[in-house]
Structure 1
Amino acid sequence: MKIPVQKLKAKGLEPFEFTEQVDVSDIQGKNDIRRIDPVKVSGQATSYGNDITVKFAIDGKMILPCARTLVDVPYEFHIDAIELFTLSPYASADDESEIHPVEGELLDLKPYIEENILLDVPFRVFSDDQQVYDDAVTEGEGWQLASEEAQQDKIDPRLEKLQALLKKDDE
Structure 2
Amino acid sequence: MKWSIHQLSKYRQNGMPIDTQVQLDEVMNRNQDIRAISPVHVKGLCTFGASQMTCQFTLSATLTLPCARTWEDVEYPIEIDTVEIFSWIDEEKRGDEDGDIHYIDGDVIDMKPVLEELVLLEVPMQVFKQNTEGQMQGGKNWSYSTDEDVEIARKNDEPKLDPRLAALAKYFDQTDE
Q: TM-score, normalised by structure 2?
A: 0.68
Structure 1 residues not aligned, in runs of 5+:
139-144, 149-155, 157-171
In structure 2, the partner of 1:58 is 59
The partner residue of 1:101 within 95, 100, 103 is 103
In structure 2, the partner of 1:22 is 22
Which deviations, in whole Å up to 9, do the C-alpha atoms of 1:140-167 show, x marking residues without a partner? xxxxx9xx9xxxxxxx8xxxxxxxxxxx
Q: Which runs of 4+ in 1 moved over 3 A?
A: 91-96, 130-133
Q: CA contact under 8 A between 1:69 and 1:132: conserved in structure 2?
A: no
| Count of matched residue positions in the alignment of Structure 1 and Structure 2 | 142
Structure 2 residues not aligned, in runs of 5+:
139-144, 149-155, 157-177
Assess, with a 3 A threshold, how the Cα gap between structure 1 residues 64 and 92 changes in structure 2: closer, same or farther.
farther
In structure 1, the partner of 2:42 is 41
CA distance in 2, matches of 1:132, 1:29: 32
RMSD of aligned Cα (Å)? 3.0
More strand per residue: 1
Q: TM-score, normalised by structure 1?
A: 0.70
Assess, with a 3 A threshold, how the Cα gap between structure 1 residues 71 and 131 changes in structure 2: closer, same or farther.
farther
Assess, with a 3 A threshold, how the Cα gap between structure 1 residues 37 and 56 changes in structure 2: closer, same or farther.
same
SS at match of 1:129: coil
- Map 1:16-165 to 2 at 5 A: 16-31=16-31, 32-90=33-91, 95=96, 97=98, 98-129=100-131, 133=135, 137=137
Which deviations, in whole Å up to 9, do the C-alpha atoms of 1:70-105 show, x marking residues without a partner? 111111111111111111122699945221112232
